Each structure stands twice: as structure tokens, then as C-alpha cells.
């Protein structure tokens, strides 16, 4: 597996959203939920409609899943922008509550979840379209969540806990905090 980077530039995130929204609402929803939840791609693609909607068709306030990698329960609120993306996406399709949230367009085997390789192509193509040249992959969504949480002032210990990392040094490296980011603290402080 190659080491991929978070998307650091908020304008590029916004431009990727615009591109994805103009081409496919499912892809926009995948990207938006991914960067606002910090879920691993395996967990994101494994989501069912019942994870985001209740039996009456209303959006849930929280997603509760069992992480595939760690087998730990993860429970978190759905950000407003992700709620809107989910609702807009679900307006465009018919569904049963137990179906995958992100379905593949390939119909040869019935309804099935979007596959990891297709999610990679979606994210990578949008990134290239906005001029991102760094290595981008499906893990970029999770890393972008962590990077921007850190930049907003969320402590590394909280992000470490969200990601189930064993040490803050792992989390810092994981979210792509560079020496330049650390040096900027000295340059900006100016007491």
C-alpha cells in the first residue's frame, strides 16, 4: 500500500465537491461523508441505508457501526453537510433500508456496494481535476478529516482517540503534519 496524503487546501476540497456534485451525487456524498466522518474506506463502503436513516425515512443524528478493522464500536454524529449530502443522494434512487448506502452501478450481480477500486478512481480523478499532484487514495478521506480537525484546534490526543491510534506521534505522521507545519507555530506566535 502506498502512503497517501490528506487534502490540505480547503479550496481544493470545495472544488472537488463541485466536480463530484456535477458528475454524480453518489460520489459527492461518498466524498463528503468520508471527509466529515474519518471512517476508513472499508467502513464507509460497508454502510447500509439503515445506518443513516431510521425506519420512518428520517436521517439519523448518529451513525453507530462496528469497525471492520478493529471490531470496535464507533458512534458519532453526522455533520450537517453530510446529512444534506445523504438526503440529496437518496432522493435520486429507490432503495430498501437494508441495502448498501453506496451502490455500484454494475447491475450484473444485483445490488451491491461500491467497490474500493472504484472509490479510488472517483477520488483520484476528482483530485487530479483540481490540480492535486500528491499521492491520493481512499485513505485520503480519513486523513483529510484528521488533518483539518487538527488545524481547527482539536488536540492531537482527541484525534488519536478518534482514530484508535496507540500514540500521538503516529497520529501526527498519519495526518501529514510536516516539519513546515510545526515550524509555522514559531513563526506565527510572535509574543
Q: Which of 8, 17, 26, 40 is catalytic?
A: 40
Residue 93 per-residue DSSP state: S
- Is the model's pLDDT at 160 over the cut of 90? yes
d(CA 191, CA 184): 14
Helix, strand, or coil here: 6? coil
Residue 150: per-residue pLDDT: 94
139 is catalytic: yes
Q: Where are the domains of the chain?
A: 10-141
Per-residue pLDDT tens digits for 47-73: 999 999 998 989 999 999 999 998 989
Closest CA to 121 of 104, 134, 138, 106: 138
69 is catalytic: yes
Q: Is 30 exposed, middle or buried, given 0-12, 13-18 or 19+ CB atoms closer than 10 A? A: buried
Q: Which of 58, 69, 105, 107 is catalytic?
A: 69
Q: Which of 17, 26, 142, 148 is catalytic?
A: 142
Q: Which of 28, 89, 147, 174 is catalytic?
A: 174
89 is catalytic: no
What CATH number was assigned to the domain covering residues 10-141? 1.10.443.10
- Is the model's pLDDT at 189 over the cut of 90? no
Q: Which of 139, 143, 147, 148 is catalytic?
A: 139
Per-residue pLDDT tens digits for 6-51: 999 999 999 999 999 999 999 999 999 999 999 999 999 999 999 9
**Going by C-beta distance under 8 Å and a sequence separation of 6 or more, which residues neighbour residue 127?**
7, 12, 16, 136, 140
φ/ψ (deg, to 5) at 26: -60, -45
142 is catalytic: yes
Give yes or no for a contact between 96 and 49, defined as CB atoms under 8 angstroms apart. Answer: yes
Per-residue pLDDT tens digits for 109-155: 678 999 999 999 999 999 999 999 999 999 999 999 999 999 999 99
Residue 36 has which C-alpha cell?
466529515
109 is catalytic: no
10 is catalytic: no
Q: Degrees (nearest 5) of the Cα angle 60, 63, 67?
A: 160
- Count the alpha carbons within 13 Å of 86 in the hemisphere toward its beta carbon: 28
Amino acid at each position: 500500500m502506498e502512503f497517501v496524503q490528506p487534502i490540505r487546501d480547503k479550496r481544493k476540497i470545495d472544488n472537488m465537491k463541485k466536480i463530484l456534485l456535477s458528475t454524480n451525487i453518489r460520489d459527492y456524498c461518498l466524498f463528503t461523508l468520508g471527509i466529515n466522518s474519518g471512517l476508513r474506506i472499508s467502513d464507509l463502503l460497508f454502510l447500509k441505508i439503515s445506518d443513516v436513516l431510521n425506519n420512518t425515512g428520517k436521517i439519523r443524528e448518529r451513525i453507530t457501526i462496528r469497525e471492520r478493522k478493529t471490531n470496535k464500536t464507533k458512534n458519532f454524529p453526522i455533520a450537517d453537510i453530510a446529512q444534506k449530502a445523504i438526503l440529496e443522494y437518496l432522493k435520486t434512487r429507490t432503495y430498501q433500508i437494508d441495502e448498501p448506502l453506496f451502490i455500484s452501478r454494475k447491475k450484473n450481480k444485483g445490488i451491491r456496494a461500491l467497490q474500493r477500486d472504484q472509490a479510488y478512481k472517483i477520488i483520484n480523478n476528482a483530485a487530479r481535476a483540481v490540480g492535486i499532484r500528491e499521492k491520493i487514495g481512499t485513505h485520503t478521506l480519513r486523513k483529510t478529516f484528521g488533518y483539518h480537525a487538527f488545524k481547527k484546534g482539536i488536540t492531537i490526543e482527541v484525534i488519536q482517540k478518534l482514530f484508535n491510534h496507540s500514540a500521538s506521534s503516529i497520529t501526527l505522521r498519519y495526518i501529514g503534519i510536516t516539519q513546515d507545519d510545526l515550524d509555522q507555530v514559531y513563526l506565527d506566535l510572535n509574543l
